[in-house]
Amino acid sequence: MQHLVWDIDPVFFSIGPLTIHWYGLLFATAILSGLQVMKWIFKTEKQELAALDNLLVYIVIGVIVGARLGHCFFYEPGYYFANPMKIIAIWEGGLASHGGGLGAIIAAGIYSKKHQMNFLWLLDRLAICTALFGFFVRSANFVNSEILGTPSNVPWAVIFARIDNVARHPAQLYEALAYLTIFFVLMIFYKQKKAKTPPGAILGVFLILIFTARFLIEILKEKQAAYAADIALTAGQMLSIPFFIAGILLVIWSIKNDKRVK
């Protein structure tokens, strides 16, 4: 059976000392796309657009720092505890989406407190953008031949030639498409009530859908954490469970709170 052979250069283009990688390009696209969605939401709800400039800085820093620390301590704790200076070597690669999510939440909390903005209101709207952000980041992982799927003979299996000659599930694309679908679901949900959406509802639905998808797709991924090699669940699945539970609790709370308000 003929399979797609993926052997794209991770460098998008290089001119002299300037080198642009596909990952960096798609990461930047993810941020700019999310910013455009937030601008539309702010305009829709008649919020001050100038506030977005500072918010972008907070969230980007939170995501990058959180994703890096998440990778170091969730997936390779032994190595980084033994080599703490390597934690700041972000150019060597290694970002974890769970850590990035936590970093974004902490950054949003600091921002909302400083600017006297409702924390849950902000997280609800950021959740929509985060689903779109995830689509671009997982697409970047595919381009980079990262986060490999398990061996497979399905017709759409991919051989990542830069890694090996094994046909694998394109798990990165499964996840990317799942996140893009969730983005559209959240947008439809938001458009129904917009500013009147119960606080915490969008975030709760986001957590349930994102981490259900993540948990299921992890089955088709190679295990990334060495300590999870002898455990039935992958590190990604174990980290997804508390987020999923938090999503259910948020949805229940938002429904009850909405009934009390009415």
Name the pLDDT band for 227 (thresholds 50, 70, 90). very low
Q: Tell me which residue of 191, 143, 164, 98 sits closest to 8, measured CA to CA.
A: 143
pLDDT in tens, 55-66: 888 888 988 888
The confidence score (pLDDT) of residue 102 equals 86
Q: Into how many domains does the chain fold?
A: 1
Which secondary structure element, helix H or strand E, spans residue 121, and what is its range? helix 119-143
Strands 158-160 and 18-21: unpaired
What phi and psi, each to the nearest 5 degrees, are found at residue 48? -70, 115
Q: Is the pLDDT of residue 26 over 80?
A: yes
pTM: 0.85
Which residues, 6+ apart, have CB-to-CB distance to 231 below 8 Å?
238
pLDDT in tens, 170-201: 999 999 999 999 999 999 999 998 888 999 99
227-234: long-range contacts, CB 8 A cutoff, minimum separation 24? 227/77, 227/78
Task: Report the distance separating Cα 49 and Cα 55, nearest Å.
Answer: 10
**Mean pLDDT, residues 70-92 taken together:** 76
Between 247 and 239, name the one with better pLDDT.
247
Q: Is the pLDDT of residue 159 over 70?
A: yes
**Mean pLDDT, residues 146-166 taken together:** 93
Name the pLDDT band for 153 (thresholds 50, 70, 90). very high
Between 145 and 78, name the one with better pLDDT.
145
Task: Report the distance separating Cα 36 and Cα 34, nearest Å.
Answer: 5
The answer to whether 220 and 234 have CB atoms below 8 angstroms apart is: no
Task: Report the distance separating Cα 151 and Cα 167, nearest Å.
Answer: 6
**Mean pLDDT, residues 153-161 taken together:** 95
Task: Report the distance separating Cα 251 and Cα 253, nearest Å.
Answer: 5
Q: Tell me which residue of 231, 220, 52 sits closest to 125, measured CA to CA.
A: 52
The confidence score (pLDDT) of residue 260 equals 60
Average pLDDT of the chain?
87
Domain boundaries, position 33: 4-261
Q: Residue 50 burial (CB < 10 Å; 0-12/13-18/19+)?
A: exposed
Give the type of residue at 157: A
Q: Report the side by side order of strands in the sheet with 4-6.
A: 4-6, 158-160, 167-168
pLDDT in tens, 205-216: 999 999 999 999
pLDDT in tens, 104-135: 889 999 999 888 889 999 999 999 999 999 99
